[in-house]
A and B are shown apart, each in its own frame.
Chain A
Amino acid sequence: MPPLFHPWLREARLAALRGGGWKRGRGLAAALGLAAAIGLGLRAAGGEAAALPAALPRLLAQLPLPFVLLALALSYASARARLAELDERLRCGWWAAAPIEAARTTRTLMLLATLGAAAALSVAALLLAAFGGDGERSRTAFFVLAAGLVPGTALGLVAALRQRRRPVQRLREGAREPLFGLRWLDDARLPHLSDWQRREALLRWRRGGHAWMIGAVLMGLPGSTALEAGAGVLLIATALAWFSLLAQACAVASVAAGRALAATPLARRGLRRAAWRYPAFAFACACVLAGVGAALLGVGWRAAPVLLGAAALLCLPAWTALRGGRRA
């Protein structure tokens, strides 16, 4: 009987045995473990705190639509990105020269999508069990998450397979000149770094970037929301999504610039100073946007710490990229 799957599975098994997979997934595993531990810890603490973890399954059961959409968007984005990346690696990486049927690759991607969805459902079930609460509500909450995770993963798989049919675009960058000159952002010794960061951010934004964040927030708005309040939420969500994406893009561009200039006598401090200009300007713009949103929403200055906290949380991947770049 001819083999059904791509031999990459054996490569992945060998690499996983040597810690390859663990290194990439340890952040997520640690976060999930911490969430479960917090849930169990609060329940064990007793008193009023014990009721806190059960609020999550209750919220999921009470507001199914936004959470279904959020789970769908997250699982779609994750499945699509990972499967498309693997598919391209199998077609153009070191396996490219091997005579392997495309159907075997497709079956492997389907298997991975199925395993990924099953793992996500298992993790969701374990987390809900750790958070406790009413059994009926926990079951409903699980079905809410499953209703988003399963179709999201399936759609991600379909999108990854569709991407295979399109030729790889290598030259078209698509980033045009800015609407107004940003030369004053340029450092004298690194005159193109801010433009590099801008282009990287623009390309990521055009590829869909963090649009899911805006979509998820909008979907979560009750139908009775007033127009002004809705516009305020939209502006705040856009500012947060845009700035978090821009921070990641700037981190990636700065790390790449640092590597490209590693052999030059440019001091690290000089590079750091030049790398902060564009994100700092973008932060000011995002603050203005979020400020207008907050004014429309009528929340005033009290919302500032919450918004800054949310922005800092969303920018964590950028910090990770910067730290990873420094270590490399």
Chain B
Amino acid sequence: MNAALELHGLQHRYDEHAVLHGIDLRLMPGDFAALIGPNGSGKTTLLHCLAGLLRPSAGRVSIGGHDLAREPLAARRALGFAVDPARLPPLLSGRECLRLFAGARGLDAIPEPTLALCATLALAPMLDRRIGQYSLGTRQKLAIALGLLGEPPLLVLDEPLNGLDPLSAYALKRHLQHLARERAVAVLLATHSLDVAERFITRAALLVDGRLRRQWDGHELDAIRADPARSLEQSMVQALAGDPDAGSAARRDGDC
């Protein structure tokens, strides 16, 4: 089976300032992974590199078996990426935006699951209003709906819960979990909400100064969940403090 996402030695630098130092990461279909790390650790840069918004300085990004540099179109067809909500066109309505995006994905109309998701996120009543009238949270919901449109096999979301009300945030988490479990969609989300990461995800990776410092697989996360005295937050703090045991998992090659 093809990996949903493979990163090999991914590096990125802004001028002389290196932000990512050889990231290796592999996500299989059905993985629900969180990318965690302190501010400025390179999470957004990493997501932008694999979404094709930034060109990596070195290394390879492969999405659904398609090299992003050599087969950009096939790779992008397999990718759903929630764009920055501030960049949505203010003069268009949410429905027009979704319709245009559906057309770009080769669909005749807005797919039913996307409309259902809009209803779940309480976005449906706003769809015919101009985006310029949306609140930050509503824009975020629309950006997520656009990213999920057409259910691509890999979803990449950068802080998707920012600005969402608790009900919508919960609905989104359940929806992503459902997509990963039932539809074998691989989900990679960058988040600071460790409680979310701990309760919903199946894998986690800690990015520090552009390097993957620590990775947790499903068994480790299950063990953390089963022990009330432990938490992902605590484990992350230990990894950040340079706990030698904490780093052991990161030295494993490839899969997280």
Contacts and interface: CB of A to CB of B under 8 A. Distances in A.
B87 A172 contact: no
Contacts of B81: 96-97
B146 A94 contact: yes
Contacts of B143: 94
A97 B14 contact: no
Contact of B73 (A20, A95, A101): A101
Contacts of B52: 96
A98 B91 contact: no
A98 B53 contact: no
Contacts of B97: 94
A170 B45 CA distance: 12
Interface in A141-177: 167-172
Contacts, number: 72
A11 B99 CA distance: 10
B76 A98 contact: yes
A94 B92 CA distance: 12
Q: Identify the interface centre among B77, B89, B96: most chain A CB within 10 Å of its CB.
A: B89
Interface string B72-111: 1100110111111001110110001100110111000000
B15 interface: yes
B219 interface: no
Nearest to B57: A167
Contact of A15 (B14, B82, B92, B103): B92
Contacts of A99: 73, 76-77, 79, 104-105
B102 to A, nearest CB: 10
Interface residues of B, number: 34
A78 B100 CA distance: 28
B252 interface: no
B83 to A, nearest CB: 5
Interface string A185-198: 00000000000000
Interface residues of A, number: 26
Contact of B15 (A18, A96, A98, A172): A172
Interface string A90-117: 0111111111111000000000000000
Contacts of A94: 83-84, 87-89, 97, 143, 146
A324 interface: no
Given A7-B104, A98-B101, A14 B76 contact: no
Contacts of A102: 72
A10 interface: yes
Interface string B145-169: 0110000000000000000000000
Contacts of A18: 91, 130
Contacts of A169: 14-15
B208 interface: no
Interface of B: 14-15, 17, 51-55, 72-73, 76-77, 79-84, 87-89, 91-92, 96-97, 100-101, 103-105, 130, 143, 146-147
Interface of A: 7, 10-11, 14-15, 18-20, 91-102, 167-172
29 contacts: A7-B104, A11-B89, A11-B92, A14-B92, A14-B96, A15-B89, A15-B92, A92-B53, A93-B87, A94-B84, A94-B89, A94-B143, A94-B146, A95-B104, A97-B51, A97-B76, A97-B82, A98-B101, A98-B104, A99-B79, A99-B104, A99-B105, A100-B73, A101-B73, A167-B54, A167-B55, A171-B14, A171-B15, A172-B15
